[in-house]
Structure 1
């Protein structure tokens, strides 16, 4: 049986989220046309980097220590992080182009210069990031895929966690926020299996957000609907 492959020749990867939503406003189209290329961490996707040439961390964002936000939504938390940590470079990955356009508008307004944007699947970025090159990562309110048959689509599966562990430096922190109890269960089962230690010592450590937290619109929706947020922090062993 012939293996299914991407048109570029790459192995095929299933993707289950959305790439595009409502029609973009003219201003958002301008952000994408004028700002996105300059903020790219480099050639990442198979179409532009078929040889999967590794990225040089020193060439990304001036050689700053690198953090990663996986699925940044509208970008409010990412810009908040960048403003609070100007000496850190932060890479944001988001395949939903409407969210990318929203982030670019926020970057313009904030004037931050320490953000790189990958408008695609984070697995493509993992392919070209060197070992131990990320010192902190965030996964905030990921798609819960609530049906049991869809749990394999969640981020907290070996397909995503194994490459994440490879690019995380020893001692790096992985932050996960979710309001879905079963997502908490799967996170606590799967993440430690990939070389991470859960740092909670008591209930307060997962009931209260970490220092510097910015409540996102996804969290506000969860609170309105009486769902308890959980804040999980893991350390790369």
Structure 2
């Protein structure tokens, strides 16, 4: 696979300036003209589970929207619970923040108590003050080329959405050359999808979205890398904050 032109994205970086970090700007109304959503928005999630046409009934309950309040900008990303008080997302979603605002699929605000980022891969862990609604199972192995996958997250910082696709293969990570191979899928993602869980047909997490290329391919940290880093206490350090 040729090396793609790739960009990592944490979501909608607001262009409004802030006077310090005390005043929060409103969330943006228009979508930037440079962003073309790959799919129409999904129906708003409800308690009846209408976000789960593929059978992933727990997907909406474990997804978390992350708003990174920086000292001069605001961006959004996605994450997912791995236990009652821990969620996984991307390093670039939580880095350089003054505060992190978390919300669950049903609009409940959850306080963040700590954030840690990995040095090797674009991964981060956030600890929460309140319990998260649900946590998925991590798959034992990475998916194979051709396997169907579903991405669950908050593209463009808006409503909870799923997109589907398949694993196209693997490639050397162009953003973190020491990481090794990452997965490539054709499941559509947008800014704000960073940190989204990638699920297999049994609803198990097989990876974490972290980037896309100009051809619309999504790039995924595989679950084998996620598992290895979660098992290594030295893999994560305190997330950098803005000053």
Quickly name the TM-score band, shorter chain normalised.
under 0.3
Which structure has more strand as a fraction of its residues?
A: 2
Task: Answer with 1 or 2: which has the greater Rg.
Answer: 1
Which structure has more helix as a fraction of its residues?
A: 1
Q: Which has the higher contact order (CA 8 A, sep 6+)?
A: 2
TM-score, length basis structure 2? 0.26
